[in-house]
Structure 1
Amino acid sequence: MSDLVWSRDGGDWPNREASSFVEAAGIRWHVQKMGQGPPLLLIHGTGAATHSWRQLMPILARRFTVIAPDLPGHGFTQSPPSRRLSLPGMASDVNQLLRILKVKPKIAVGHSAGAAILARMCLDGTIAPKLLVSLNGAFMPFGGVANHLLSPLARLLVMNLLVPRAFAWQASHAGAVERLIHNTGSTIDARGIALYRKLVRSPTHVAAALRMMANWRLEPLLHDLPRLATTLLLVAAENDRSISPDVARQVSEVYPQAIIERLPGLGHLAHEEQPQDIADLIMRYASQPNRAGERPPTL
Structure 2
Amino acid sequence: MAVNLAANPSFFLPFHQIHHNSTCALQTRLNFPSLAIPKYPVASLTCANASAASTAAVSAEKEEVLPPLDVSEINRKSRKWAWRGYTISYLVYPEGSSDVDAVNPPLLLVHGFGASIAHWRRNIPTLAQSHTVYAIDLLGFGASDKPAGFQYSMEVWAQLILDFLDEVVQRPTVLLGNSVGSLACVIAAAESSQSLVRGLVLFNCAGGMNNKAIVDDWRIKLLFPLLWLFDFLLKQKGIATYLFDRVRQRDNLRNVLLSVYGNKESVDEDLVEIIRKPALDEGALDAFVSIVTGPPGPNPIQLIPKITLPVLVLWGDQDPFTPIDGPVGKYFSTLPAQMPNVNLFLLEGVGHCPHDDRPDLVHEKLLPWLSDLPVS
With the shorter chain as reference, the TM-score category is: 0.7 to 0.9
Give distance in 2, aligned partners of 1:196 and 1:58.
21
Decide whether the 8 Å contact of 1:154 with 1:213 is kept in 2: no
Give distance in 1, aligned partners of 2:81 and 2:317.
37
Question: Counterpart of 2:81 in 1: which secondary structure?
Answer: strand
**Equivalent of 1:165, from 195, 218, 241?**
241
Q: Is 276-285 or 131-140 further displaced after alignment?
A: 276-285
Identical-residue share of aligned pairs (%) = 20
The one-letter amino acid paired with 1:284 is P
State the partner residue of 1:236: 315
The one-letter amino acid paired with 2:367 is M
Decide whether the 8 Å contact of 1:83 with 1:89 is kept in 2: no
Q: Is 64-73 or 218-227 further displaced after alignment?
A: 218-227
The one-letter amino acid paired with 1:222 is I
1:211 Cα deviation from its structure 2 partner: 1.9
Question: Counterpart of 1:281 in 2: which secondary structure?
Answer: helix
**Equivalent of 2:369, from 282, 285, 297?**
285
Structure 1 unaligned residues grouped into runs of 5+: 1-10, 292-299
1:121 Cα deviation from its structure 2 partner: 0.6
State the partner residue of 1:139: 207
The one-letter amino acid paired with 1:26 is G
Give distance in 2, aligned partners of 1:198 and 1:55.
19
Question: Counterpart of 1:52 in 2: which secondary structure?
Answer: helix
State the partner residue of 1:175: 251
Question: Counterpart of 1:209 in 2: which secondary structure?
Answer: helix
* Residues 79/233 of structure 1: CA separation in 2 closer, same or farther (3 Å cut): same
* Residues 242/253 of structure 1: CA separation in 2 closer, same or farther (3 Å cut): same
* Residues 176/244 of structure 1: CA separation in 2 closer, same or farther (3 Å cut): same
**Equivalent of 1:21, from 52, 77, 80?**
80
State the partner residue of 2:292: 213
- TM-score normalized by the length of structure 2: 0.66
The structure with more radius of gyration = 2
* Residues 150/133 of structure 1: CA separation in 2 closer, same or farther (3 Å cut): farther
- TM-score normalized by the length of structure 1: 0.82
Is 1:78 the counterpart of 2:145? The answer is yes
1:216 Cα deviation from its structure 2 partner: 4.1
Is 1:39 the counterpart of 2:120? The answer is no
What are the Cα deviations for residues 73-104 of structure 1, in whole angstroms up to 9, with x where unaligned?
10111135756411112111232233331433
What are the Cα deviations for residues 47-89 of structure 1, in whole angstroms up to 9, with x where unaligned?
1111101121122111111111111110111135756411112
Give distance in 2, aligned partners of 1:290 and 1:252.
24
1:158 Cα deviation from its structure 2 partner: 4.9
Give distance in 1, aligned partners of 2:237 and 2:91.
30
1:272 Cα deviation from its structure 2 partner: 1.3
**Equivalent of 2:283, from 204, 214, 220?**
204
Give distance in 2, aligned partners of 1:56 and 1:270.
11
Question: Counterpart of 1:79 in 2: which secondary structure?
Answer: coil
Give distance in 2, aligned partners of 1:209 and 1:135.
22
* Residues 275/205 of structure 1: CA separation in 2 closer, same or farther (3 Å cut): farther
The one-letter amino acid paired with 1:135 is F
The one-letter amino acid paired with 2:197 is P
State the partner residue of 1:68: 135
* Residues 92/266 of structure 1: CA separation in 2 closer, same or farther (3 Å cut): same
What are the Cα deviations for residues 115-151 of structure 1, in whole angstroms up to 9, with x where unaligned?
1101101111156433211011113635436454477
1:170 Cα deviation from its structure 2 partner: 1.0
